[in-house]
Amino acid sequence: MVIVEGGKMKRELNRCGISSVEVIPNFKRLGQLPSVPKFDDGAVHFVFLSRIIPDKGVGYILDCVRRLNEMGYAGRFAVDFYGSVAPDYAKEFDTALESLPNVRYCNTLQLADWNNYSVLARYHAMLFPTYWHGEGFPGVIVDAYVAGLPVIASDWNFNEEFIEDGVTGVVVPTHDTDALLMAMKRMSDGGYDLDAMSRNCRREASEYDVDKILNRAQIERILD
């Protein structure tokens, strides 16, 4: 048996003549979902949670922040970055942050500690305009859903399989910074029902609980 994370890869393998393919998406052992108040200062708070490298779309986010600030939106949204910064990108990243008053680097957020989901749950939405070559089914999408965060993501690789546009997030074309900017702007303008999207995400999170994904029959097939 060949185990893959998404239907797209299964279809590609089937076209190559490989039929014994099982789709098992990313999953987690889910505890009690956090229920904490969101930031309530009148601004939409975005979060990025991944490695701080260009291929994860970090530069695209920073460019959109700069452009939105120039449009007079600096007080209407904020972006916090969590993750390890690649050494060869650190200087460029730090320089960009110095000129963007509504962007912060908040170090790393270790979600192996379940309590840290309460930190993530304070945000309104996650940004994930990745184009990293090794992206499969990113675990941060499940993390976002657990915390009740809709995800603004690129349509890279499997993202469209796991994000329902307008329901659990917003999907934009890969490398399209104009589309990313418009999604961030619309969200900052109140153009999305973030409360409803948050509830949708929490419901969707249960679909990726380990006990639901790896049921007994699947485990037996894998062990065989």
In this predicted model, what pLDDT tens digit does every residue of 53-66 receive, in sequence order?
999 999 999 999 99
Decide if 126 contacts 48 (C-beta within 8 A): yes
Task: Enumerate domains of the chain plus CATH numbers.
Answer: 2-27+210-223 (no CATH), 44-207 (3.40.50.2000)
Q: What pLDDT score was predicted for residue 216?
A: 46
Residue 119 has, within 13 A of its CA and on its CB side, a CA count of 17
Per-residue burial over 163-197, b if 16 or more Cβ lie within 10 Å, else e, is bbeeebbbbbebeebebbbebbbebbeeebebeeb
In this predicted model, what pLDDT tens digit does every residue of 102-119 receive, in sequence order?
999 999 999 988 889 999
Taking each helix axis as running N to C, give the angle between helix 177-188 and helix 58-70, from 0 to 180 degrees, rounded to the nearest 10.
60
Q: Which residues contact 149 (CB under 8 A, 6 or more apart)?
A: 47, 120, 121, 123, 124, 125, 126, 198, 201
Q: What pLDDT score was predicted for residue 35?
A: 74
pLDDT band at 218 (very low <50, low <70, confident <90, very high): low
pLDDT band at 3 (very low <50, low <70, confident <90, very high): confident
103-107: long-range contacts (C-beta < 8 A, 24 or more apart)? 103/62, 103/65, 103/78, 103/79, 104/78, 104/79, 104/80, 105/52, 105/80, 105/81, 106/80, 106/81, 106/82, 107/82
Give the whole-number percent of the chain exceeding pLDDT 70: 91
* Mean pLDDT of the 74-91 span: 97
pTM summary value = 0.87
* Mean pLDDT of the 91-96 span: 97
Q: Residue 220: pLDDT above 60?
A: no
* Mean pLDDT of the 93-97 span: 97
Q: Any idea which residue has 């279809």 for tokens?
A: 11
* Mean pLDDT of the 20-42 span: 78
Bigger pLDDT: 176 or 20? 176
Dihedral (Cα; 10, 13, 17, 23), 10-degree rounding: -30
pLDDT band at 217 (very low <50, low <70, confident <90, very high): very low
Q: What pLDDT score was predicted for residue 10?
A: 77
* Mean pLDDT of the 169-178 span: 98
pLDDT band at 179 (very low <50, low <70, confident <90, very high): very high
Q: What pLDDT score was predicted for residue 14?
A: 83
Give the span between the Cα atoms of 192 and 182, in whole angstroms: 12
Q: Dmax over Cα atoms in the chain, in whole Å? A: 60
Give the span between the Cα atoms of 30 and 38, in whole angstroms: 21
Question: Over the chain, what is the mean pLDDT?
Answer: 90
Q: What pLDDT score was predicted for residue 158?
A: 83
